Structure 1
Amino acid sequence: MASAPISKRSIDIAGKKFAFSARQGVDWSNYLAYRPAYPQSFFERIYNYHAQKAGTAWSVAHDIGAGCGVVSSVLASRFDSVIVSDPNDGYAELAREFILEKTSFPESKFKFLQETAEESSLESGIVDLVTACECIHWTTPEIAIREFGRQLGAGGTLAITYYTRPLIEANERAVRAYKAVWDAFSKKVQGEICERACKINNTALESLEFPEKDWEALKRIYINTQGTLDSFMLDDRTVESRVKESEEKVWVEDDDWCDMCGIEWLKGYAATWEPPIQESEIQDIWDELERALEGKQVKTRTPVVMILATKRA
């Protein structure tokens, strides 16, 4: 589902070095190679929502749970400064290395912090945009969301996003085999933290609550879901929805989160999830999927949910 603490060890991929976790083997080079890339439309939805408000400021963005800084590096093109934070050992330094290699921005444009989503060292009301991408399920959401609001100034924007596994289209045999991969994975999702994360993600973040006294203009955008939340469900573990009637829902199909993928990419993507499931554990399933693909690539669509909210004055 996400990632783990890293060591100082690094590897080289495509001429660049990216550190990875010695504890659980989470390899950031694989994450960058096999996770879906954030399309420009993803950022434009955030920017357009933020720009609609009177007196919009583009001074400070805070990318929370930033990992190696993929989202942070893009936010820097629109905001004067970007705070990059993650609770895991070594991630802030990794993000610094990644961003300074990937972009031409000066280091002075960024502030790198190791801290949790639930408790930040930042002063209150100094941030214009908070992003929490692919990480809210690893937090205690009600505490984290309250903390996000503390950091934001009045009228500031909160963007919480999550994408689930890409889904195969137009090949029923491959669809069945790929589903078996994730059925096997879901059985490994055990323990209190993983259970909570699974329930949050299975409900497409609809369990997240945004008190109306603190938040307004809340919008939930569902991308590539075909009008249902079923695309997000790995299994039947769910939790109560806290979506209010006042919240706007937007459904978008055939977005940029689509691709053509082969068996190696699908294996690589599955290997980026936590807890890990070794290919050898389900070799028969992978063999069936490979036969179903017949050496060809298949179209995939990635379901995504984006929650955009405004801090009340």
Structure 2
Amino acid sequence: MAVRLFEGSDHAEAYLKFRVAPQELIGIIMSFMEKRTRNFHLAVDVGCGSGQGTTLLAPFFTEVVGTDVSPAQLQLAPTDGGPSNVSYRQCPAEELPFECEEVDLVTAMTAAHWFDHRRFLHEAYRVLRPGGCLALLSYTMDMELEYGDVSKTLNDICKEFYAALFPYRNPHIGSNSVEIYAGMFHSCPYPDKEWNECLRVRRHVPLSGFIAMVETFSSYRSLKETDPAEAAQLSSRLRNKLLAVMKTSSPDAEVIMIVKYFYWLARKP
């Protein structure tokens, strides 16, 4: 990877527990592939973290390999009790340990914005078979909440929280990660490709789970490293304001969290 983050054990554990696994996106990826190829032997999930998305590919391929540069993330990947056809390797996204034209699918789920984009696309081209597919997906940090008739007020509070974190975004990803993926999409030379800017994924979660998820954001972790007290106070203010509007004292109250995914898919000629 061009940038190394998510390497502390506590951050890796929180990432595994609270991040959203993109089940809906797997169906879209497989539908794209099934219309274009009969090869479903090897899938490689690059920047796999703790394997939340990697294992979702297991039913569709003979072999699935997750790769990540972070040993802390890979230590939490389910090697025991997980799908028998899934394994993991530690390596940079730009140096994949596969032969030329060996791979049927290369994915990167909420990870490609940290890569050296030019080198990664070149490496994906190298390892993909002719007719193999590349699938890159991520989501924006402006998640929304639904709860009774106070959803708008809740989301106004969330926007304040996101704005407070904005100055702590890593400069590598700039102000808008959608633009990063759009740039990669346009630079990808494959003529057969598709772009989708917003797929709304809904999850029922306790309010505490939503707050814990936003605390895994790299911008929040950066604030926490810079000023731990301010990070804790910011999170506490968010929780208390949301609870007051919801008229409940329980952080376990269930809300609907809406995550806005964007993705692009491409087939190597």
- Check whether the contact 2:16–2:50 (CA below 8 A) recurs between aligned residues: no
How far apart are residue 93 of structure 1 and its match? 4.1
**Equivalent in 112, 116, 121 of residue 88 of structure 2:** 112
Instruction: Say whether 1:94 aligns with 2:76.
Output: yes
How far apart are residue 220 of structure 1 and its match? 1.0
Task: State the match for 1:70 in structure 2.
Answer: 52
Task: State the match for 2:228 in structure 1.
Answer: none
- Check whether the contact 1:177–1:286 (CA below 8 A) recurs between aligned residues: no
Alignment deviations for residues 217-260 of structure 1 (CA, whole Å, 9 cap, x no partner): 11012334xxxxxxxxxxxxxxxxxxxxxxxxxxxxxx5x1133
CA RMSD after TM alignment = 2.4
How far apart are residue 282 of structure 1 and its match? 4.9
- Check whether the contact 1:218–1:308 (CA below 8 A) recurs between aligned residues: yes
How far apart are residue 128 of structure 1 and its match? 0.3
- Check whether the contact 1:59–1:80 (CA below 8 A) recurs between aligned residues: yes
**Equivalent in 3, 6, 11 of residue 26 of structure 1:** 11
Distance 1:147 1:206, change over 3 A: same
How far apart are residue 112 of structure 1 and its match? 2.5
How far apart are residue 60 of structure 1 and its match? 0.6
> What code does the residue aligned with 1:186 have?
F
> What code does the residue aligned with 1:222 have?
E
- Check whether the contact 1:137–1:201 (CA below 8 A) recurs between aligned residues: yes
How far apart are residue 92 of structure 1 and its match? 3.6
How far apart are residue 301 of structure 1 and its match? 1.7
Partner Cα distance (2:235, 2:58) in 1: 41
TM-score norm. by structure 2 comes to: 0.83
How far apart are residue 73 of structure 1 and its match? 1.2
Task: State the match for 1:159 in structure 2.
Answer: 135
Q: Which has the higher helix share?
A: 2
Partner Cα distance (1:283, 1:130) in 2: 39
- Check whether the contact 1:93–1:112 (CA below 8 A) recurs between aligned residues: no
Distance 1:279 1:43, change over 3 A: same
Distance 1:59 1:27, change over 3 A: closer
Alignment deviations for residues 136-192 of structure 1 (CA, whole Å, 9 cap, x no partner): 111111211111111101010000000223212452221111111111111222xxx
Partner Cα distance (2:87, 2:28) in 1: 25
**Equivalent in 197, 200, 213 of residue 222 of structure 1:** 197
Distance 1:311 1:202, change over 3 A: closer
Listed as ranges, the gaps of 5+ residues in structure 2 are 225-230
Task: State the match for 2:156 in structure 1.
Answer: 176
Task: State the match for 2:112 in structure 1.
Answer: 136
- Check whether the contact 1:168–1:300 (CA below 8 A) recurs between aligned residues: yes
Listed as ranges, the gaps of 5+ residues in structure 1 are 7-20, 225-254
- Check whether the contact 2:185–2:195 (CA below 8 A) recurs between aligned residues: no
How far apart are residue 120 of structure 1 and its match? 1.8
Other structure's SS at 2:172 match? helix
Equivalent residues in 2 for 1:1-313, closer than 5 Å: 3-6=5-8, 21=9, 25-28=10-13, 30-39=14-23, 41-53=24-36, 55-95=37-77, 98-101=78-81, 103=82, 105-106=83-84, 109-165=85-141, 166-169=143-146, 171-189=151-169, 194-203=170-179, 205-211=181-187, 214-224=189-199, 257-275=201-219, 276=221, 277=224, 278-295=231-248, 297-312=254-269
- Check whether the contact 2:195–2:263 (CA below 8 A) recurs between aligned residues: yes
Alignment deviations for residues 290-313 of structure 1 (CA, whole Å, 9 cap, x no partner): 21222254433211011100111x
- Check whether the contact 2:12–2:50 (CA below 8 A) recurs between aligned residues: no
Other structure's SS at 2:60 match? coil
> What code does the residue aligned with 1:36 have?
V
- Check whether the contact 1:279–1:286 (CA below 8 A) recurs between aligned residues: no
How far apart are residue 85 of structure 1 and its match? 0.8
How far apart are residue 281 of structure 1 and its match? 3.7
Structure 1 stretch displaced more, 148-157 or 265-274: 265-274
Query: How many residue pairs align between the two structures?
Result: 250
